[in-house]
Amino acid sequence: MARSDVSNARNALERGSRGATPRPLASAGGAGVDTLASFVESLMSGSIDVIDLTQPLSEATPMIQLPPPFANTPNWRTHEISHYDEKGPAWYWNWFEGGEHAGTHFDAPIHWITGKDRDDVAQVPVRRLVGPAVVIDKSREAQANPDYLLTMNDIRAFERRHGSLPEGCWLLYRTGWDTRANDQKAFLNANETGPHTPGIDIDLARWLASESPVVGVGVETVGTDAGAAHSFNPPFPCHQFLLGANKYGLTQLANLAKLPPTGAVLLVAPLKLVKGSGSPCRALALVQR
């Protein structure tokens, strides 16, 4: 998808969010092809592919484990209401219980103390849930060192090769950790010293929050911070700086290997939970073929 198309689509979203009357996808006798009509045609023809970046959510989904005395989210559970039986002969449905931060999920600014006066999930502007995606691949480094930290040098090297990070983009950090997503022990990768998973170093987290055009960071691990981030100063810098700057986190992603370094568009759909600190979500990427 060309950058101009992304810009046009974002502008259309912004007009809609201000209450402007939407135009039809295409007007008879119009001088040009409408951007949205062209987009739909590209989806139908397959020239734009939709990649699912979401992990399945079930009782097998790994959950973060905080040490005592901190409280933990319970494992995800699904309870059957009826299944074409005497409790409901023509329908099947369930109810579920689980945390806001379960599976592939969205972190709202209010999740962290530095963002306590910022947006909850329901208050996040929808236009910020759609935007260009850049993918930085450090899967080889993370395989060699599970405590690998993304740095400013990695960003600069990426920009020399692919150009500057675009305004309003999501930075997606590929580490290959999604291959562990169905194994709680391998996913958390903890020993007597704590969890060991890749993340982002302090200086880069601060820059992403205060100076970069990035609106959010997406990762394949259980959280946006490294497993060892409890020992950093300050601890958990991605949460500390990004959420404090009214930016966002996106975790436990899948299929980042299917995305190009630049050119994809990310769509994030958390539940509109009033006062919610986060939400399980469906994350999708649009890729030009």
Strand locations in 9-85, DSSP E? 48-52, 77-85
Looking at residue 17, its pLDDT comes to: 46
* Residue whose C-alpha is closest to residue 83's, from 74, 94, 92: 92
Residue 25, pLDDT above cutoff 50: no
Average pLDDT over residues 189-215: 98
Phi, psi of 105 (to 5 degrees): -145, 165
> What are the structural domain ranges in the chain?
3-45, 49-288
DSSP 76: P
Question: Which residue out of 101, 105, 111, 239 is catalytically annotated?
Answer: 111
Q: What is the pLDDT of residues 94-133, one digit of tens each?
A: 999 999 999 999 999 999 999 999 999 999 999 999 999 9
Residue 42: is it exposed, middle or buried by C-beta count within 10 angstroms (0-12/13-18/19+)?
middle
26: phi > 0 → left, psi -120 to 50 → alpha, else beta; which?
beta
Looking at residue 16, its pLDDT comes to: 47
- 111 is an active site residue: yes
Q: What's the CATH architecture for 49-288?
A: 3-Layer(bba) Sandwich (3.50)
pLDDT band for 210, please (50, 70, 90 cuts). very high
